[in-house]
Amino acid sequence: MRSPGRAGAAQGGVPLIRPPSIIASKDLEVTDKVPPPPERLAPHKWLGRGALKKYCRQERQGLELYLSKLAEERIRNHALSKKEERLEVMGFLLGTVHRFRNVTYTIVKDVATTSLEATSVSVRFERGGLEDLFCALDTTDFNYVLVGWYHSHPGHGCFLSETDVNTQLRMFDRPWHSAMVIDPVQMDIAAFAMKDGKAVERPFAIYWDEFQNPYYGETVRNRRVRSDPDGMAAPQ
Ligand SMILES: [Zn+2]
């Protein structure tokens, strides 16, 4: 069901809330924008040493994928909620696509999901579940594109199976599309993208907004005042 009044007329000076609109990939206009600054970024707390190394390397070259703290929490909690039953979960990544210094990057702001038919090794949307999904999309408050999907591999580790690769090629074939895989049992997470027809890992950062609590994982990041007007600290 649609939440009442969201798209209604402004009343008593309350600003009108514009409902989100689905922007088809073909209409996507990649805009120039400075990515979230380093003091509002962290690698995912489940990354192992090897994945952290890849993250650091990619951070120097320019990350191609940023996941909001909110989206990360939703994906993790979704996967953890079916951990005991060893069931897979799945959903869509919603966000925006930008460019900075010749690097095209995606910002995942939120996720959306619906009723699923799941086993420990497969997952698909239930019949009629798509209607629920569109309602879930309706409650997000920004214009978004589907920038990819996520699903879980409870206890199997993070990789793209042949079926996953086919899904990616069929539904998410743009260079900025990502597939996130999360294993809530082994506490592992990774993102992938198709490059030259092959699935490759795409290191990603968790980001938070300027006035959000900087707590993420086990540490509290200090807020720093940057002097570079460009908004991007030099790589260290
Ligand atoms: Zn899979």
What separation in angstroms does the CA of 121 have from each of 41, 83, 102, 163, 168? 32, 13, 38, 11, 17
Residue 172 domain flag: yes
The rounded Å distance from CA 184 to ligand 1 centre is 13
Task: Output b/e per residue, 121-152; b: 16+ Cβ within 10 A.
Answer: eebebeeeeeebbeebbbeeeeebbbbbbbbb
Sign, CA torsion 66/33/91/140 = positive
Range of the domain at 183: 51-206
Residue 14 domain flag: no
128/130 Cα distance (integer angstroms): 5
Residue 188 domain flag: yes
Residue 74 domain flag: yes
Residue 169 domain flag: yes
Residues with CB under 5 Å of ion ligand 1 are 161, 164
Residue 167 domain flag: yes
The rounded Å distance from CA 115 to ligand 1 centre is 17
pLDDT at 136: 66
Write down the pTM of the prediction: 0.77
The rounded Å distance from CA 168 to ligand 1 centre is 11
Angle 71-77-81 from CA coordinates, rounded to 5°: 150
pLDDT at 236: 42
What separation in angstroms does the CA of 215 have from each of 55, 75, 94, 143, 189? 20, 18, 23, 27, 20
Sign, CA torsion 108/110/112/118 = positive
What CATH code is carried by the domain that includes residue 193? 3.40.140.10
Residue 233 domain flag: no
The rounded Å distance from CA 11 to ligand 1 centre is 47
156/183 Cα distance (integer angstroms): 7
The rounded Å distance from CA 49 to ligand 1 centre is 23
pLDDT at 193: 96
- The answer to whether the beta carbons of residues 148 and 179 sit under 8 Å apart is yes
pLDDT at 17: 44
The rounded Å distance from CA 143 to ligand 1 centre is 28
Domain total in the chain: 1
pLDDT at 157: 95
The rounded Å distance from CA 149 to ligand 1 centre is 11
Q: Average pLDDT by consecutive 10-residue portion of the chain (236 residues)?
A: 38 45 62 92 94 95 95 95 93 92 93 77 70 66 80 95 90 90 97 92 93 66 54 46
Residue 230 domain flag: no
